[in-house]
Amino acid sequence: MKKYLIPIILTVAIIAAGAVILTLTNRGEKPVPIESFIKERHTADWYAHQAEIWEQQVNRKPNDDDAWIDWFVATRYKIMFETQESHKGRGVQEEDFDYSPLKDIAARLADERPDSFARYYLDYMCSRMVNGYECEDNMEKAITMCPDKEKLYSNYVAYLIPKENDDLMKTIVRKWYKSGRFPDTFISFFFNSLAGIEPDGILIVNGDVPVYATLMVQHGMNKFKDCTMVCVSFLYIPEYRKKICRQLGIEEFDEPQVHNSQELRKWEQYVFTTLAEKSGRPVYFTSTMDVSQYGLDFTGNLYSEGLVYKYSTNKYDNLSVKRRNFEEVYDTDYLYKKTKTKNKDRYQAEDAVNLNYIPCFKSLLTYYKETGNQKQETKLHSLLTHIVDNCSDNTDASIRKMYYDEIDR
C-alpha cells in the first residue's frame, strides 16, 4: 500500500554564567495544537512557524508527548504544502514529498525517550512516510498506553483495521463515537448508505471519511454489522487481504505483480469482480468514490440505488429501489438539522459531502416530474436545493451554481 490518511520569531541570546538562551516568541505566544488538515487547513508558512514553536516547547519540556507529536505533524504539513505549492499546475507524486526531516525528529525522540508513548507512536507514523525508515512495530503498545488520545483516534483506527485485534479497534471506534469528535453529518450520510444495502452486502469504499464513518455506524451505533466494508487502499496490505478473504470465506487474492498505475487499476478490477463472483454476496460501491478513476470496464454493470452503486451483471429496475430508499429507507431529516459536532471538531468539507445527493437523485427527480408525482417532486427538489444552500460557507458560488443548474435542468 502507498505510504501515506507568520509572526516573526525573535531570538535573543544572553551570554551569562551557564550560557542561558532565552527565546522570545512575541512574549506569550503559545503553540497551536495541530489538527488534521482535512479538518483545518493552513498555509505552509503557518505550519513552518508552528513547527518552530513546538520544537521550542520540546526543548523546554522534553517529557511532553503532545509537544513531540505536534512538532512532527506541523513539520509534515509544512513539507506537504510547500511541495504542493511548488508543483502547482502539475501533478504531485508520492516521491515528490521529502519527509526526511521527520526521521530526525523520530531519531531524537528515540534517543532521548526510548520507552515513551510518543516514541512508539511517531516510529509508526515515520515508517509510513519515510522510505527506508525501519523500526519495531510498537504502535499497538502505544495505543494501550494512551487509549484516550482523542486527536489520534483516526491513526489508531487506521493502524488497527488490517490487524487481528478487532476488539481493540472496535473499542477505539466506540470511544471516538462517544467523544463527539467525528462529524455527525458524515455518520448520517453513511448510515443512509448502509441502510439501503441488502443483508450481508459488501460495501467498497476508499478515503478516510467513508472508512471511519462506516465504522462509526457499525461499531459506534451498532447498526448494519452484517455488511462487510472493504477499503480499496488497504487491499495492498497482505494481512488485510488475508483478513477480508477469511471474513468472506473466499480464497486469498493473488498479489499485484506489476506496480505501475495501469496494472494496479487492472488488479483492483480483478479484486472487485472476484469479490462479487466468489463471495456470493451483493457488492456495492459508495457514491463518494469516483469509480471512473479505477479504469473499470464494468461500469455498465453498476446501478445507482441512491447513495450507493450496486454491481450486477443482470439489468434490473434500480430506479424503483432508489425510489424506495428515498421514500421509505433513508432518514433525510438530519439534512435540515444543525450539526451537533462541536465547532472545533468540524471538518471544512462536512456539509459538502451531502452534495452527493444531487447526482445520486437527479434521475428520481426527473421521474417524479415526468410521472406527475408533484408531492414527491416538491419534497425532493426542496431537499436538494436546501443541501446546496447549506454549503454556502465552504463551497464556491460557481460550484453551487453548477449544482443548482443540475437540479433544475
> Per-residue pLDDT tens for 384-407?
999 999 887 778 899 999 999 999
> Which of 28-32, 127-131, 202-206, 290-294 reaches the highest mean pLDDT?
202-206
| Res 342: pLDDT | 52
**Better-predicted residue by pLDDT, 349 or 228:** 228
Q: Examine the pLDDT at 61 and tell me if it is beyond 60.
A: yes
Q: Report in angstroms the alpha-carbon separations of 188 from 83, 195, 275.
A: 35, 10, 27
> How much of the chain exceeds pLDDT 90, in percent?
68
The Cα–Cα gap between 268 and 283 comes to 14
Q: Examine the pLDDT at 348 and tell me if it is beyond 50.
A: yes
State the pTM of this model.
0.86
User: 90: pLDDT confidence band, cut at 50, 70 and 90?
Assistant: confident
SS (H, E, C) the chain: CCCCCCCCCEEEECCCCCCCEEEECCCCCCCCCCCCCCCCCCCHHHHHHHHHHHHHHHHHCCCCHHHHHHHHHHHHHHHHHHHHHHCCCCCCCHHHCCCHHHHHHHHHHHHHCCCCHHHHHHHHHHHHHCCCCCCCCCHHHHHHHCCCCHHHHHHHHHHHCCCCCHHHHHHHHHHHHHHCCCCHHHHHHHHHHHHCCCCCCEEEECCHHHHHHHHHHHHHCCCCCCCEEEECHHHHCHHHHHHHHHHHCCCCCCCCCCCCHHHHHHHHHHHHHHHHHHHCCCEEEECCCCHHHHCCCCHHHEEECCCEEEECCCCCCHHHHHHHHHHHHCCCHHHHCCCCCCHHHCCCCCCHHHHHHHHHHHHHHHHHHHHCCHHHHHHHHHHHHHHHHCCCCCCCHHHHHHHHHHHHC
pLDDT, mean of residues 334-348: 66
pLDDT, mean of residues 222-248: 95
The per-residue b/e assignment along 297-319, b for 16 or more CB within 10 angstroms, e otherwise, is: eeeebbbbbbbbbbbeeeeeebe
Q: Examine the pLDDT at 270 and tell me if it is beyond 80.
A: yes
| Res 298: pLDDT | 65
Q: Which of 52-56, 123-127, 261-265, 374-378 has the lowest mean pLDDT?
A: 261-265
β-pair partners for 304: 309
User: 13: pLDDT confidence band, cut at 50, 70 and 90?
Assistant: very low
> Per-residue pLDDT tens for 199-213?
999 999 998 999 999
Instruction: Answer whether 176's CB lies under 8 Å from 147's CB.
Output: no
| Res 27: pLDDT | 45
| Res 394: pLDDT | 74
> How much of the chain exceeds pLDDT 70, in percent?
88
β-pair partners for 249: none
Q: Report in angstroms the alpha-carbon separations of 148 from 38, 175, 180, 187.
A: 21, 8, 13, 21
> Per-residue pLDDT tens for 114-156?
999 999 999 999 998 888 888 889 999 999 999 999 999 999 9
| Res 322: pLDDT | 98
| Res 245: pLDDT | 95
**Better-predicted residue by pLDDT, 15 or 227:** 227
| Res 299: pLDDT | 66
| Res 12: pLDDT | 30
Total count of residues recorded for the chain: 409
β-pair partners for 202: 228, 283
Instruction: Answer whether 302's CB lies under 8 Å from 311's CB.
Output: yes
| Res 262: pLDDT | 79
Other C-beta atoms closer than 10 Å to the C-beta of 236 total 17
Instruction: Answer whether 182's CB lies under 8 Å from 213's CB.
Output: yes
| Res 351: pLDDT | 75
Q: Report in angstroms the alpha-carbon separations of 122 from 23, 116, 176, 202, 263.
A: 26, 10, 21, 33, 33
